[in-house]
Amino acid sequence: MKQTNSTPHRKNRERARQFAQMSDNIYLPCQARVDEIIRENDQVLTFVCSFEDVLCNKDFSYVPGQFMMVSMPHLGEAPISFSSSPTEGTGFRLTVRRAGRLTSAMHELKPGDQIGVRGPCGTPFPVRELEGSNLLFVGGGIGMAPLRSVVQYALANRERYGDITVLYGARTPADLCFRKEIGLWRRQGVTCLLSVDHGDENWTEHVGLVTELLDQVQVSPASDRALVCGPGIMMRFVLQKLVTLGLEPGSIWTTLERHMKCGVGICGHCHFEDRLVCWDGPVFSMAQLPDLENL
Amino acid sequence: METRILHKDHLVPLLRRLSRNYRLVAPVRNEYGDTLYSVIHDLDSARIDLDQQPQGSLKPFFFPQSEVLCQYALDRNHDGGQTRYAFYPQLPENRPTLYFGVRSCDMMAVMYMDLIFFQSRGQDIYYARHRENAVFITIGCNHPFPNCFCNATRTGPFLEHGYDLQLTDIGEQYFVETGRARGRKIVEAWSWFFSTAGERERRAQFQAALEARGLFSSLVHVDLAIKLLEEGDEPTAVFTELSRRCQDCGGCAFICPTCTCFNIHDQPRTDDSGERVRTWDACTFRGFTRMCGDHNPVDVETQRVRKRFLHKLLHDVRHHGRTSCMGCGRCVGMCFGGVDMIRFITMMCQYEAAQETGE
């Protein structure tokens, strides 16, 4: 099995430096303010946030694929991926589906309210390594949130990347997120194919599984890199299909979801074989995933 | 390395002097007959017990079972109804502490915890505060205890590094080896307690260390288990059997000197304030990996003990070059379901042997 820790000490120092920007205490959240709340659909909101501390805002940097540990009063913390790109100005966006107690409480927030945040945590998508390649995004449901971060990043650095294709599936048209942005992406030359399990009378695009959209695009193993995120079962089938279309496992990237407490590779909750998803991931190349059963 | 002799009669007077500068922790036999590493407030009334293996390790002194990380407070009426939400760290005090009578396995476990909490990843300031200013006077095990197998994990019964001072019982005296600078300072500062070791004492120490290695009652094939796991020979049937027998009590992880998994949760104190607390957790608990919506990526019926054994015998070998089982054998005495390290290694080796002979 391929090992990821090629230069662990340099990586650790860099990560420690990132944290040191915010605090010398890796468990101490900073105060962030919710500046704006965007309703994506009934279950999903996007929180546009910035730090209360002006210096934090100035020093803060992240890379698509990383995440924040978000604190809500009395409810502890949960890991939430950035849905924004650092190229979109100061602060950051978190796109959150109402799923448990903490995320439900987030849905009660109003603009101006504060949340606690720690981070950025995790290993990002290899945006530098992807330069020069065509990017094929395959998202399912709320899994589109971390992929949006990379799409925005690639559009902001358009000359560095080849063709951009977004395949996005959800259960119903009402479950799709980022509808407005998908329109903007299309106008900027991004191929966007949408799919839902169950359409309605206004739905004119594909009905079925997101894997079926892969039949509608030309995949070129030499120049394409795939970025996949969605429910475990969807990811398993998409990854398998991408391999049958000829993509190397090392050219396919995905981001995993796990229960996390510390976010910095100590507490042990997010183990995935000998890796810790919060530290070695959440972004993994398919070549690093030992099997696809427990995504 | 400098070697000295400490007469046994001088031990308590030495500790009394040292307790002026250090909080003193040592194995103490309590009124219920249990031997536990305890803080000694009064040396005259405490019964230091170097004959029994302490029932717990030093883990709780560096990584308490429950520890407040920070306080949080809400201000709901600030700026016209908007909520402020602030955090205030609560760092532990870092008192200079002398840990006396520490067994080799427990000292090695502290060094393993150092790897986890502040060498490989972001520094854990809470652990660092407990760990700073700690001095260790260890004691070699002349007579390993019934469940011990530190010979197989190479963590004892005597230490070759890591201690400030290491004592060996050679009858009327302790043979004293100085390790790190803090140990040398103790010997220099209180030199009148120590005399120079001669050839006879050196030979007695060598003899004691040699004899101890032959006194282990359990033969545990740790190296074979590591080799089999590295070769990808995962004993699925053994994991299934052990998962069935695990009663989900977490005793093995809590008693283990190197199990450092933890949970972090908020403990409300009032409607508008509370504490963020870190508590021990265990990967054998059914809910350890459960996410919201009750989704659990680990099949708890067959795999919840798998992580524990693979972590100690395979993953840590991969990442740190050695196992994180220290061979202290405490999990053997703790588990009433027989899901312990010795049992696992024995079952795994038997399973492998049966596979090979085609039984």
Shortest alpha-carbon distance between residue A239 and chain B (Å):
18
- Which residues of chain A does B250 touch, with a Cβ-Cβ cutoff of 8 Å? none
* Residue B260 pLDDT grade (very low, low, confident, very high; cuts 50, 70, 90): very high
pLDDT at B119: 63
Q: Helices in A188-278 by DSSP H: which ranges? A: 210-213, 232-244
Of B70, B87, B291, the CB nearest to A257: B291
The annotation status of A192 as a binding-site residue, yes or no, is no
Q: What is the pLDDT of residues A110-158, one digit of tens each?
A: 999 999 999 899 999 999 999 999 999 999 999 999 999 999 999 999 9
Q: Supply angle C-alpha B178, B183, B185, rounded to 5.
A: 120
B258 phi and psi angles, rounded to 5 deg: -120, 0
Q: What is the mean pLDDT of residues B277-306?
A: 89
pLDDT at A21: 45
This model of the complex carries an ipTM of 0.89
Mean pLDDT, all residues of chain B: 92
pLDDT at B354: 83
User: Chain B interface, mutation test: which of A2, A22, A53, A269, most B Cβ atoms within 10 Å?
Assistant: A269
* Residue A6 pLDDT grade (very low, low, confident, very high; cuts 50, 70, 90): very low
Do residue B72 and residue A73 have CB atoms under 8 angstroms apart? yes
* Residue A15 pLDDT grade (very low, low, confident, very high; cuts 50, 70, 90): low
Structural element, H or E, at residue B51: none
Q: Helices in A161-217 by DSSP H: which ranges? A: 179-187, 210-213
Structural element, H or E, at residue B64: none
pLDDT at B303: 87
pLDDT at B80: 60
Interface of B with A in 191-250 (CB under 8 A): none
Do residue A103 and residue B292 have CB atoms under 8 angstroms apart? yes
Distance separating alpha carbons of residues B236 and B303, to the nearest angstrom: 9
DSSP label at B50? -
pLDDT at A141: 92
Distance separating alpha carbons of residues B320 and B299, to the nearest angstrom: 27
Q: What is the mean pLDDT of residues A254-272?
A: 91
Residue A59 in contact with partner chain B when CB distance is under 8 A = no
Do residue A294 and residue B72 have CB atoms under 8 angstroms apart? no
Shortest alpha-carbon distance between residue A142 and chain B (Å):
14
Q: Which of these ranges, A12-26, A112-126, A200-214, B256-270, has the smallest mean pLDDT? A: A12-26
Structural element, H or E, at residue B275: strand B273-280
Percent of chain A with pLDDT over 90: 75
* Residue B296 pLDDT grade (very low, low, confident, very high; cuts 50, 70, 90): confident
Do residue A294 and residue B298 have CB atoms under 8 angstroms apart? yes
Q: In this structure, are residues B281 and A268 in contact, taking their beta carbons and an 8 Å threshold?
A: yes
pLDDT at B359: 57
Distance separating alpha carbons of residues B5 and B192, to the nearest angstrom: 11
Closest-CA residue of chain A to B72: A73
Q: Supply angle C-alpha B126, B128, B131, rounded to 5.
A: 115
User: Chain A interface, mutation test: which of B288, B292, B324, most A Cβ atoms within 10 Å?
Assistant: B292
Amino acid at A233: I
pLDDT at A90: 86
The annotation status of A177 as a binding-site residue, yes or no, is no
DSSP code per residue over B307-359: HHHHIIIIIHHHHHSS-S-----HHHHH-SS--SHHHHHHHHHHHHHHHHHT-
pLDDT at A3: 38
Shortest alpha-carbon distance between residue A34 and chain B (Å):
10
pTM: 0.91
CA-wise closest residue to B137 among B103, B166, B179: B166
- Which residues of chain B does A76 touch, with a Cβ-Cβ cutoff of 8 Å? 264-266, 276
Q: What is the pLDDT of residues B156-175, one digit of tens each?
A: 899 999 999 999 999 999 99
Residue B291 in contact with partner chain A when CB distance is under 8 A = yes
**Residue B75, by phi and psi: left (phi above 0), alpha (psi -120 to 50) or beta?**
beta
Q: What is the pLDDT of residues A190-208, one digit of tens each?
A: 999 999 999 889 999 999 9
- Which residues of chain A does B281 touch, with a Cβ-Cβ cutoff of 8 Å? 261, 267-269
Whether the predicted pLDDT of B53 surpasses 80: yes
A130 phi and psi angles, rounded to 5 deg: -80, -10
Structural element, H or E, at residue A118: strand A114-121
CA-wise closest residue to B24 among B137, B155, B120, B127: B137
3-state percent helix, strand, coil for chain B, nearest multiple of 5: 40, 25, 40
- Which residues of chain B does A75 touch, with a Cβ-Cβ cutoff of 8 Å? 266
